[in-house]
Structure 1
Amino acid sequence: MNGVEMKKLIIFFLAILTITTLAQTNSKKLTLEDIWGSQKFFGQSLRMVKWLDGGNNFSYLETDFQKRSINIVIYDIKNKTKSVLLSSDELKLVDSDSKFMIMNYEFSPDENYILFTGLLPARSIKSGGNIYLYNLKTKEFFQVETGEAVMNVKFSPDSKKLGYVKNDNLFVYDISTRTERQLTFDGNGVIINGHFDWVYEEEFSIIDGWRFSPDGKQIAFWQLDQSPVPEIEIQQFDSLYFNSIKMRYPKAGARNSIVKIGVVDIENGKINWMNIGNEIDIYIPRIYWTTRENELAIVRLNRLQNKLELLLADTKTGNSKVIYTDTDSCWVDVELMDVYFFKDKKHFLISSEKNGYKHFYLYDYSGKLIRQITNGQWEVDRLIDVDEKQNVLYFTSGLGNPLVRNLYLIKLDGKGLKRLTPFEGTSSINSSPNLKYFIVTNSSVKSVTRTFLIDNSGKILDTLIKNENLEKTLSEYNLSTPEFLTITTSDGVVLNAMMIKPANFDPQKKYPVLFYNYSGPGSQIVRDVWGGPQYLWHQMLAQEGYIIFMIDNRGTGGRGKSFKNIVYKNLGHWEINDLVEAAKYLMTLPYVDAERIGIWGWSYGGYISALTILEGNEYFKCAVSVAPVTHWKFYDTIYTERYMSTPQLNPEGYETSAVTNKADKLKGKLLLIHGTADDNVHFQNTVVLVDELIKANKQFQVMFYPGKDHGISGGKTRLQLFTLITNFIKENL
């Protein structure tokens, strides 16, 4: 063998070794313990960002694992440097105190104080518990003596006071004198001021029920009288003589809390009640201080949620007038609405779906339409902010591609539309007050979450979070790249879908298919975004030889109002129709085992999963239904009536859509799962369905989680839960 041949042989063996090494580095299999019982796949994030110095710097929380402390870190944008402003080690009332845990913090507007609070259970950040102040000039740290735990804490605009809710009443605290003053006196557990009942908080996504006026002299607040709302009891099993927790929960067709909007003068304590009309069976889902003195904007929504009005109220007299009305044949979605009041005190911007897609409109204060700013057969997602000096607004959108979200700017005259984020997938935005900078959190199905700093031209200034360790860990596993596709239904509707095939996919083999669904109105699961632990669990099943399939059926979001409206008064029908259409499509593929198609989902997805195994029993072999609604009469007023009207006006729709009325159709395998302390979708839903299945002599499996709420989590609960679901799927699909 000559030297050239020897060299070729060495190169050949090196190539084989390289290929073998590469194959070994990404050949690991995901496990339930890795996903649900460890922190192996936890990524980093920029926690609790607060903009400072008008937007030229920002702070965030960072954990020092060596010292076991949490630091408030300042990022200097100009110099791209970071420094520790304050460590939790420095926060002690007395030297003998144990380590202080920073859970939530806020700078005063003048940036002289930092407020520290606890966090209360809620859909988003809800400050509360004990509260503390740190003086950045004197380094003094002290507890604000409130006597009892408080909630919804914030600084006044002049930084001289704190405001908060205690015992259902509003209070202000003077920082210099360290004295507290009560502003409302009728809060008593039934009447509540400055915060919300369960259904407002859950379905209108609002946590904080009061607002300082821009000059800090007044506070506008919600008052809810809960006395008409029926009480329910959530059973507890943690004592010998088990007891219950009472809560007020208005089920579809029942009476809601009576809402009022008050404005209190902080100086003299006088409360003026705003005129919101004579009809009491309404909702007030939003209020805003306008840029004009003593003026409050109030959003009024009728009980059926198909008529929205914007009122302007004089806070000194309570007098109000309607300046804007939005109506829809089905529902007006207030959760999607954006409102902005211009500093010229003459104009406001509002979003609406009135032309079939969500877009921005410019009005004057008389209610006259000036112009539609964005237009086209695509939807804006969210208003980020308006730069009045440059006459542009910033917003997120997929711009016709509902799978993604990017940051855009457009001039207020509707011209100059420009995309700013240069990333694939989905970007969420945190804008600086001066609108010079944006913190962009981006991910895709191919990329874990990363965080960038960009300027208002779209230039990337820095990569703040790379998550390199998570990417390295994931590279050791044999993951499959999800495929996006569309299917066309028999009546010609194109639906977006996503498929995860086994990484070692062989088109000559046949594979079982597990559908994952949520399916609810306005939702989307077919998105180009990193999916976290659940996505990895789907990847684990794909490694086990399952195809994972998702589809956004009619009624879901991102496709315009008519695409959503089709499900009105008829929940369940089009969702099942489209899932069956998708199953029929999959059955035509040579690599799909048509006898092994299943479905799983949680909450609304649990409802649809249970309904699918009954109505689609010819196509689906098994279903896992977690925390399902089984009859819409059991769910709350705001959500249910938005899409179904009331049981009194739509009795047939309620009965037709009920899983409990179809128990005799069960042919396949069904696993029902519910937390006994679920205060959202009550355990009652599963209990009633179980009773109907027993009456129909049907065999099924059921698992309940004592004391667990709608999220069914805590300790090893998620690990046990997904082990249960995994075993069920392996045994029955």
Structure 2
Amino acid sequence: MRKLLFLFLLTGFVATAQRNLNIQEATYGQYQAFAVKSLVSPQWRPETNTVTHLNASYSALVARSEGNKWSENTLLTKEDIITALKNKFPEEQFTIQIFPYSYTWKDKNTISFEVTGKDANYIVLFNVDKKEVSNAITINTEATQQALSPNNKYAASLNDNNIVITAANGKNTVVTNDVAGIVNGSDYTHRQEFGIDRGMWWSPNSDKLLYYRKDETMVGNYPLVDFGARTASEKDVKYPMAGLKSEEVTLVVYDIASAKKITLKTDGPKEQFLTTITWSPDGKYIFVGVLNREQNDLKLNKYDATTGNFINTLFEETATTYVEPLHPLTFVPGKNDEFIYRTEKDGYEQLYLYNTNGKLLKKLGYNDVVITDLLEFDAKAKNVFYVGTANNGLDRQLYKVNLKSGKTTPVTTASGVHNIVLNSDATYALDSFSNTTTPNDVSIINLKNNKTTTLFNAENPYTGKTVLPKMELVTITAADGKTPLNGRLIYPANFDASKKYPVMVYVYGGPHAQLITNSWLGGASLFDYYMAQKEYVVFTLDNRGSDARGRDFEHVIHRQLGQNEMADQMKGIDFLKSKSFVNQDKIGVYGWSFGGFMTTSLMTSHPETFKVGVAGGPVIDWKFYEIMYGERYMDMPQENPEGYAKTSLIDKAKNLQGRLLMIHGAQDNVVVQQHSMEFIQACIEANKQIDYFLYPTHEHNVRGKDRFHLNQKIADYFDTYLKKD
């Protein structure tokens, strides 16, 4: 009896452990309960062969040092920081739950991080050896987008739409004092297109601050309704809609010593885009990529940082489709007159070495590799390292290229995705590697002799907890009959080849997104596996127009968004229909944003194929979308009326046959709610039924705990209208 009871308890335990994912785990589990072991916030300590990262509880900074076989020791704890802060600011109350995740090494002995006190925010410079605060700049709690100067003596920040500079001694200098509609120093300039991730740039000498000044007074207001007030209130946002008036942007230099401001003389039409902002290493010049509104002509210009005068155009880049600058210049260490420029002008985004006279010194590209991350130069700046694509975009590998000869050497070769962090002189690389069968192998590569030291091989976090359905990567030929496309097929749980299963196609399909990689889980989210556990075939295809395959692969979308993308997705459907286990009468599709546009396009253009769809935050008509993104791919509505008519889904609502759930955030300031409202009205006029759900407090996506609700709604919709007869 005892043996039987023990066996029952044991098998009961196993049965409980080996269960399907719940909706919470399907939503955030791969970052929480099923997170693969990794190094948290890894960085190299300057001038040392030491990697630092947070420990498992995020309560301490630990170091792995070369000297003793990369052994680990605690460098600094959260308690050390709290004690030092109390000594520095005895009257302040600090709440530090974990070690500051976004710490940054400033030099060999100093890290910087931000902490919040009761009455202020602080940018802290902390000496890790002495375990004391070496300096701290106090900033108003309402301040945003803090930018610390290179000499650590000043912090620029935004107070609503204006800039304040705070000195280490606590003195505040108001740099701008403009009224609403004039926005200074914001990273939301040009709606964060063109790689813009900041709106303020300190000079290398910390004596000047360069910033965007955006005049959007002439841009139309768009109303967003706040339903949370006793009486719903309206909030207007500036939304530059395709074909209408755009914002007018300039670049201003503020001199710390004189308190004077000068505006760069970026002459030309007022409606142009200022990109690739870069200081010269000596602080004398500023380089700006000036892109016309049509986005097909880029001039890389040089300006005097003292007078603002235009000096010359280094070179001009044009295209029959569009030019898309995404990165600032990278100057070669020790040289004020040589820099690396990134462009896809020859077919793939690669590196080009120029001098400041605009002369091309060397093409540094390699085969069809698309660069994804420019890393470090070696000690004498003879070589530069970068991460780029391989294996038809599925892999990420580390490469080294010699600046003089242009010869490229692949450093890593194992097929998969290598996430690389280099030390400052490029003698060591921290390599976090995964592929579809490897959760995460973390190692250190000695770049002098290519010897590798393994730190750990992460275990499969699902073992003993849940059984993930089988996943495989597949290759499908595009609608052009020649281009190989990457696909991902997740089989239903308890797969039986003799059965017929419903299909959920998950789609995005637009630029700057790649859903399929040769990485752990194949790049899929756990929600995809959750649906497969519910016995769906889950399929995804990266069609032409998506990322990491080069210029021509993407630019087929120009002036006709959705058309070639749909043609490729239908090749994916042909692939699915060739499988005996696919129920051809039960194919559904789900996507968000561009994927919502694709979902609605497929539901209305191929209603005989797609029986159920869920379209989140969908673009319905590109004339309602913003200028910077929309006009890049579609040109202006007045320039491309045929393209806008072809891609609009409003007059295609009459074709709807299946069940379509459209979801929108009421506060969406990216794909405004007008899109879905126009489609619903068209459905009403065409006597077509559509389901609609609104998240009153959310913007373009549904985040936080409400995402559980979103994913449950999507799963329930497919269960109700696709899975059940």
After TM superposition, the score normalised by the length of structure 1 is 0.87
Instruction: After superposition, give the CA deviation of every residue in 1:408-444 in whole Å (9 maximum; x if it has no partner).
Output: 1121245553322354421222322222223333333
* In 1, Cα distance between equivalents of 2:420 and 2:178: 38
CA contact (8 A) 1:74 1:85 kept: no
Change (3 A) 1:399 1:338: farther
* In 2, Cα distance between equivalents of 1:23 and 1:147: 54
* In 2, Cα distance between equivalents of 1:55 and 1:338: 27
Structure 1: gaps (5+ residues): 1-16, 120-127
* Higher mean C-alpha deviation, range 148-157 or range 629-638: 148-157
Instruction: After superposition, give the CA deviation of every residue in 1:134-184 in whole Å (9 maximum; x if it has no partner).
Output: 553583599744455222323322233333333433333332x332233x2
* In 2, Cα distance between equivalents of 1:308 and 1:106: 34
Change (3 A) 1:483 1:32: same
- Residue identity matched to 2:477: T
Instruction: After superposition, give the CA deviation of every residue in 1:82-121 in whole Å (9 maximum; x if it has no partner).
Output: 31424154344448836334464445457456341469xx
Could you tell me how far 1:355 is from its partner in structure 2? 1.8
* In 2, Cα distance between equivalents of 1:626 and 1:534: 18
Match status 1:155 vs 2:160: no
* In 2, Cα distance between equivalents of 1:434 and 1:342: 11
Give 2:370's match in structure 1, choosing from 359, 366, 379. Answer: 379
Change (3 A) 1:361 1:143: closer
* In 1, Cα distance between equivalents of 2:700 and 2:215: 26
* In 1, Cα distance between equivalents of 2:120 and 2:677: 35
Q: 1:460 aligns to what?
A: 452
- Residue identity matched to 2:552: S
Change (3 A) 1:60 1:711: farther
Q: 1:124 aligns to what?
A: none
SS at match of 1:54: coil
SS at match of 1:486: strand
Q: 2:689 aligns to what?
A: 699
Identical amino acids, percent of aligned pairs: 27
CA contact (8 A) 2:558 2:633 kept: yes
Q: 2:172 aligns to what?
A: 180
Match status 1:484 vs 2:477: no
Instruction: After superposition, give the CA deviation of every residue in 1:283-335 in whole Å (9 maximum; x if it has no partner).
Output: 01221112344111111111111112211111122222110221111111222
CA contact (8 A) 1:108 1:115 kept: no
Instruction: After superposition, give the CA deviation of every residue in 1:338-384 in whole Å (9 maximum; x if it has no partner).
Output: 64445333322212222222222222222122221224334333322
Match status 1:71 vs 2:74: no
Change (3 A) 1:45 1:241: farther
* In 1, Cα distance between equivalents of 2:518 and 2:453: 24
* In 2, Cα distance between equivalents of 1:34 and 1:293: 50
Q: 1:97 aligns to what?
A: 93
Give 1:435's match in structure 2, choosing from 423, 426, 444. Answer: 426
Match status 1:554 vs 2:547: no
* In 1, Cα distance between equivalents of 2:491 and 2:549: 26
CA contact (8 A) 1:35 1:533 kept: no
Instruction: After superposition, give the CA deviation of every residue in 1:209-232 in whole Å (9 maximum; x if it has no partner).
Output: 112211222222221112122222
Change (3 A) 1:581 1:337: farther
Change (3 A) 1:390 1:132: closer
Match status 1:723 vs 2:716: no
Q: 1:662 aligns to what?
A: 652
* Higher mean C-alpha deviation, range 88-97 or range 259-268: 88-97
Instruction: After superposition, give the CA deviation of every residue in 1:47-82 in whole Å (9 maximum; x if it has no partner).
Output: 444543335335444464xxxx83344444444323
1:46-85 counterparts in 2 under 5 A?
46-54=39-47, 56-62=49-55, 64=57, 70-79=59-68, 80=70, 81-85=72-76
Change (3 A) 1:398 1:197: closer
CA contact (8 A) 1:305 1:331 kept: yes
Could you tell me how far 1:478 is from its partner in structure 2? 2.1
Could you tell me how far 1:600 is from its partner in structure 2? 0.7
Could you tell me how far 1:702 is from its partner in structure 2? 1.5
* In 1, Cα distance between equivalents of 2:498 and 2:264: 70
Q: 2:184 aligns to what?
A: 193
* In 2, Cα distance between equivalents of 1:565 and 1:37: 34
CA contact (8 A) 1:167 1:188 kept: no
Could you tell me how far 1:512 is from its partner in structure 2? 2.0
Instruction: After superposition, give the CA deviation of every residue in 1:230-283 in whole Å (9 maximum; x if it has no partner).
Output: 222221111210113322121112222211112222111122222212321110
SS at match of 1:398: strand
* In 2, Cα distance between equivalents of 1:449 and 1:567: 35
Match status 1:359 vs 2:350: yes
* In 2, Cα distance between equivalents of 1:22 and 1:327: 65
CA contact (8 A) 2:34 2:461 kept: no
CA contact (8 A) 2:276 2:328 kept: no
Change (3 A) 1:32 1:411: same
Change (3 A) 1:487 1:23: farther
Change (3 A) 1:393 1:53: closer
SS at match of 1:53: coil
- Residue identity matched to 1:155: L
CA contact (8 A) 2:341 2:352 kept: yes
- Residue identity matched to 2:481: G
Q: 1:421 aligns to what?
A: 412
Could you tell me how far 1:725 is from its partner in structure 2? 0.9
Change (3 A) 1:204 1:422: same
CA contact (8 A) 1:35 1:41 kept: no
* In 1, Cα distance between equivalents of 2:164 and 2:505: 51
Q: 2:721 aligns to what?
A: 732
CA contact (8 A) 1:437 1:454 kept: yes
Could you tell me how far 1:581 is from its partner in structure 2? 2.4
* In 2, Cα distance between equivalents of 1:394 and 1:76: 22
* In 2, Cα distance between equivalents of 1:63 and 1:477: 23
- Residue identity matched to 2:47: G
After TM superposition, the score normalised by the length of structure 2 is 0.88
SS at match of 1:540: helix
* In 2, Cα distance between equivalents of 1:672 and 1:438: 46
Change (3 A) 1:147 1:409: closer
Change (3 A) 1:82 1:503: same
Change (3 A) 1:631 1:272: same
1:471-550 counterparts in 2 under 5 A?
471-489=460-478, 491-493=480-482, 494-530=484-520, 535-550=525-540
CA contact (8 A) 2:544 2:553 kept: yes
* In 1, Cα distance between equivalents of 2:115 and 2:297: 38
Q: 1:116 aligns to what?
A: 114
Could you tell me how far 1:24 is from its partner in structure 2? 6.4
Structure 2: gaps (5+ residues): 1-7
Match status 1:368 vs 2:359: yes
Q: 1:260 aligns to what?
A: 250
Change (3 A) 1:631 1:274: same
Change (3 A) 1:171 1:592: same
* In 1, Cα distance between equivalents of 2:475 and 2:650: 32
Q: 2:159 aligns to what?
A: 166
SS at match of 1:405: strand
Q: 2:588 aligns to what?
A: 598
CA contact (8 A) 1:449 1:467 kept: yes
